[in-house]
Amino acid sequence: MRAIGLSSYYVLVKEIASELRTRYALNALLMFVVTTLSVIVFSLGSEHVPYEIYCGTLWVIIFFSAMSGLSRTFVTEEERGTTLLLQLITSSNSVLLGKLFYNVILNFAITLITAIAYLILFNDFVVRTYSIFWLTLLLGSVGLASASTILAAIVAKANSKGTLFPVLAFPVLVPILLTAIKATILSVEGGMFNEAFPDFQVLISFTIVIIAVSFLLFDFVWKD
């Protein structure tokens, strides 16, 4: 157990160091968030729209940025032929765990940036219960990232990776997206913290189940 922890930590460190050096995913994702946000700003103009729309579009941006960024961890390994190196130096579980943590960190960072931009840009988007809002963002993005990680591992082994990823991921992620949107609406409406409790339960149990299944399946997916 300790061995897996340690080697997955080095996989995570390698991912972060590689990202900081190439700045590929981070820059692309930030630009993605900026462009989609400005499209929404331009199309709304000075229009007043129901707050549900804001909650929905917030998660649309988070979903699509996850779709464009989270498959990279596995796809780049496959494209550059470094998969074989990782297979040769460590167990598949540590690879999965390391990459899972990396995707969670990346996705949560993007989610936070998007949410803060939302709060600043849209005056009509007023969150009344911040505890629900932040916790939803955290749990939602962790859930998105964990389901995306195992799907990215599958996609990396197939052809036409770029278009395939959202197609595979959407039906799997629907329960998370719908629950997260619902909890976000609740936070805007000023619901009590315990009203959002069932939603958090769904998000947490979904994440746990997906991660457990990922560990069961990853060995089949990772090795040829």
24 to 150, 154, 159, 200: CA distances (angstroms)? 21, 21, 21, 33
| Residue 116 Cβ vs another protein, minimum distance, rounded to whole Å | 27
- Which C-beta is closer to another protein: that of 190 or that of 198? 198
Identify the residue among 6, 34, 39, 49 touching another protein (CB under 8 A): 6
158 binds another protein (CB under 8 A): yes
| Residue 217 Cβ vs another protein, minimum distance, rounded to whole Å | 5
**CA distance between the termini of the chain:** 25
28 binds another protein (CB under 8 A): no
- Which C-beta is closer to another protein: that of 41 or that of 89? 89
Identify the residue among 16, 157, 191, 215 touching another protein (CB under 8 A): 157
For residues 74-94, one letter each, b for 16 or more C-beta atoms within 10 angstroms of the residue's C-beta and e for the rest, the string is bbbbbeeeebeebeeebbbbb
| Residue 10 Cβ vs another protein, minimum distance, rounded to whole Å | 5
- Which C-beta is closer to another protein: that of 121 or that of 164? 164
Residue type, 176: I
103: nearest Cα among 80, 140, 71: 71
53 binds another protein (CB under 8 A): no
Q: What is the DSSP letter of 123?
A: T
50 binds another protein (CB under 8 A): no
166 to 34, 65, 67, 178, 210: CA distances (angstroms)? 20, 11, 6, 16, 17
| Residue 109 Cβ vs another protein, minimum distance, rounded to whole Å | 20
Neighbouring residues of 152: CB distance < 8 A, sequence distance ≥ 6: 70, 71, 72, 73, 74, 75, 103, 165
List residues near another protein by CB under 8 A.
3, 6-7, 10-11, 14, 17-18, 21-22, 80-82, 84-85, 87-92, 94, 147, 150-151, 154, 157-160, 164, 167-168, 170-172, 174-175, 178-179, 182, 198, 202, 205-206, 209-210, 213-214, 217, 219-221, 223-224
